[in-house]
Amino acid sequence: MKNVNKHFDPSNEVDCNKALRVLGALELAHQDAHCALHHESAWQLLVATILSAQCTDERVNQVTPALFDRFPGPLAMCQAPVQDVEELIRSTGFFRNKARHLLGCGCALAEKYQGQVPIRMNDLVQLPGVGRKTANVIRGVAFGRPAVVVDTHVKRIAQRLGWTRKNDPVGIERDLMRLLPRNRWTHTGHVMIFHGRRICRAPTPQCSICPVASYCPRYGVDRSR
């Protein structure tokens, strides 16, 4: 089917080259971009990412040391009293659902995967509370596999740059995978998240200080501000 977006065609070499220039400028501007969730294992990253839903990374990092000290692995989490887990993670919000997901993940890993976090996407998304975004965080950060993480920041910036016209995360993920080199997928997520937090904010981006303002078509941005 013909691509109706005259501004964006992932198969167009010129657009791909422009996207790489934009990405390079963003990488230069955010050289400290990284996964902000503190962790020492794939299990800890899985827990932290589940807790980060509707919560800041800073808050999660304040909560997880005590949680990991009390319940250091999947089996310990599986056997944990749910009320104790809820109390430890209460400040992250939606703590009852999150506690249920953490216990469910702990039991699933202990029973099906010998206490190890799986690498395959199909296995990860079967775990309680784990969608594609969380699975891609685990694959990219914990296991070093190329993975495109699409959170609210990545979605917003990709749309404003004209890199995608999709609204659903899976569609955006696929567009970015076609547009960008595989070996830069994971780091691109970190860079875009940092850029979204610092400059390209919702609802009002700071275009006057943006390092890629000259490249950006600013789709969806209120230009009257």
Which positions are annotated as active-site residues? 133, 151
In sequence order, what are the residues at sequence separation of 6 or more whose Cβ sits closer than 8 angstroms to the Cβ of residue 18?
215
In sequence order, what are the residues at sequence separation of 6 or more whose Cβ sits closer than 8 angstroms to the Cβ of residue 222?
203, 204
Quickly tell me which residue has 């509370």 as its tokens: 129
Q: Please spell the DSSP secondary structure of 154-195, one letter per residue.
A: HHHHHHHHTS----SHHHHHHHHHHHS-GGGHHHHHHHHHHH
For the CA atoms of 115, 118, 123, 129, the dihedral, rounded to the nearest 10 degrees, stands at 70
Distance CA 122, CA 19 (A): 30
Distance CA 168, CA 183 (A): 23
Distance CA 154, CA 151 (A): 5
Cα angle 148, 149, 153; round to 5: 125
HEC profile of 29-63:
HCCCCCCCCCCCCHHHHHHHHHHCCCCCHHHHHHH
